[in-house]
Structure 1
Amino acid sequence: MEINLGIAEADRAAIAEGLSRLLADTYTLYLKTHNFHWNVTGPMFNTLHLMFEGQYNELALAVDAIAERIRALGFPAPGSYSAYAKLSSIKEAEAVPAASEMIRQLVQGQEAVVRTARSLFPLLDAVSDEPTADLLTQRMQIHEKTAWMLRSLLDE
């Protein structure tokens, strides 16, 4: 059945492509955060272990919301590691870094997600896609706050 949301198909496709990049960034950050939750060590173990758990649980819910928005626009959501590797601006952790480096990498990942989300606003504004803009605004608020909280752990 044809989709008629008041947004042209080409614009919906461009939005879905941007959201696919956001989904890939979010899922890659989820995986990295979960990995660090499992592998963190050191004097801040308990604090970081619990903090990372809260963060990866929040990210797990986020990937679902992003993927469902892609589907609502009429396009398939990417769902494989190979697709995410091509689409994501966040690099996977190759080893198990020290706790302070884990925090730095997660700050960088949180900020990368914000930049990806922010890059979509010119198109969203041009076609009046308020539902996607609302989703991205909420995601940006969460990621900016999380980056601030993580960054605060590095202040001495």
Structure 2
Amino acid sequence: MASSSGNSSISTKFHSSGSEEDLQLPMDQRKRKRKQSNCESARRSRMRKQKHFDDLNVQVERLTKENSEILNRVNLTTQHYVNVEAENCILRAQMGELSQRLQSLNAIISLINTTTTTGICQNDCFLTIADNFMNPMNMHYLNQPIVASAEVFQW
């Protein structure tokens, strides 16, 4: 009996060891499947990261180009503004000069009008009534261009 129990223990040993192998086989397969699944998941994750990185690079290039175009437009607009401002400065100066000339001419006309209406100014005025260009006797002067020297406009 000892031998049969020994055999029995040996066969139990083999049998229990065989059942552990049976249990180990699915565990190994599960580990392998899990490992393969994890590798596949990691590969997909790396691919997503790479795609995200590539998308960000494309966005950086697009934004850099857009920024450059905006900067060019700003520079062009600034140059246009400087040119317009310089032209405005010139026009303001010309307007001031023309305003002064207009005031001078209005003063001359006012003086002429006061001398023709009063009749006084025989010796004090630079124009006599006979020389006045508004005099109907001097209408032939209307067809001729009026020429004035620069000294008349300088005060």
Fold-level similarity (TM above 0.5):
no
Give TM-score, length-normalised by structure 2: 0.28
The structure that has the greater radius of gyration is 2
